[in-house]
Amino acid sequence: MLRLEGITKTYAKSAVPAVKSLDLHVRRGEIFGFIGPNGAGKTTTIKMLCGILRPDEGRIEIGGADMAKDPIAAKRNFCYVPDVHDTYDRLTGQEYMDFVADVYGVPTKERRERAAKYLEMFEIADAAGERINTYSHGMKQKLLIAAALLPAPPLWVLDEPMTGLDPKSSALLKDEMRAHTAAGNTVFFSTHVLEVAEKLCDRIGIIRNGSLVAVGTLEELRGGKDESLESLFLELTEDDYA
């Protein structure tokens, strides 16, 4: 579903790459957790795979479409929730939902049902007629999540989606992620919350200093040892904490 081949990115004025020759294959139907310490390169990787940042090297393929050669086809295959919640502040929540539904060509009846479902689920239906610039930080985050769930594309890409969410919304989002993959779709999300990754993910990739240091199921990462994800994570990312 998602294939990253040797992607590398060095920011201007930076001596070291933020992401180095990263290879990753996320399969259809799985919840893939991308974990790593702060500054490891998660957001940079996600911005590249979403087509927001252009990699210096490497190739990105989403649902068979090449991001560099056919960005529109690649982008049709996923929805993205960024880690910062800058949005179209002058629109109302409902207008924003409609805008996203237009972009993805969601038919009228379906969009009404799905927009209502997610606005209610995340308890922002009452504010749907208000402009987004009146929303709190948490409400903006929930609106962005609701809008990304609305079109139900084959892939959801979520950058630290649970950070800042209240426990109820976080549990609802996890249920949606499970239901989405159970229906044959794919979820790729980043987190630094290890318990979330441990419970939710089919496979996990650990990134450190821009390189993938481990990838697999929790069992595979443990390699037969009775180790928690936390101790594995600390071992694999040790230098960052030294």
Q: What is the CA radius of gyration of the chain?
A: 18
Q: Find the shortest distance in angstroms from Cβ 236 to ligand ADP.
A: 14
Q: How many residues bind Mg ion (CB under 5 A)?
A: 2
Query: Which lies closer to ligand ADP via its Cβ, residue 9 or residue 114?
Result: 9
Closest-CA residue to 157 (of 47, 9, 44): 47
DSSP-based three-state secondary structure for 17? coil
Q: Does 39 bind ligand ADP (CB under 6 A)?
A: yes
Q: Residues with Cβ < 8 Å from 229, sequence gap 6 or more?
A: 194, 197, 198, 204, 218, 221
Our CA dihedral for 85, 87, 190, 100, rounded to 10 degrees, sits at: 150
Q: Does 43 bind ligand ADP (CB under 6 A)?
A: yes
Binding mask 27-46 for Mg ion (x = CB under 5 A): ---------------xx---
Strands 65-66 vs 57-62: parallel, antiparallel or unpaired = antiparallel
| Residue 11 touches which member of Mg ion, ligand ADP, none, C-beta under 5-8 Å by kind | ligand ADP
Q: Does 42 bind ligand ADP (CB under 6 A)?
A: yes
Stretch that binds ligand ADP, among 40-48, 113-121, 177-185, 219-227 (CB under 6 A): 40-48
Strands 211-216 vs 203-208: parallel, antiparallel or unpaired = antiparallel
Q: How many CA atoms lie within 13 A of 213 on its CB side?
A: 20
Q: Find the shortest distance in angstroms from Cβ 213 to ligand ADP.
A: 13
Q: Which of residues 150-189 bind Mg ion (CB under 5 A)?
A: none
Instruction: List residues binding ligand ADP (CB under 6 A).
Output: 11, 14, 18, 36, 38-44
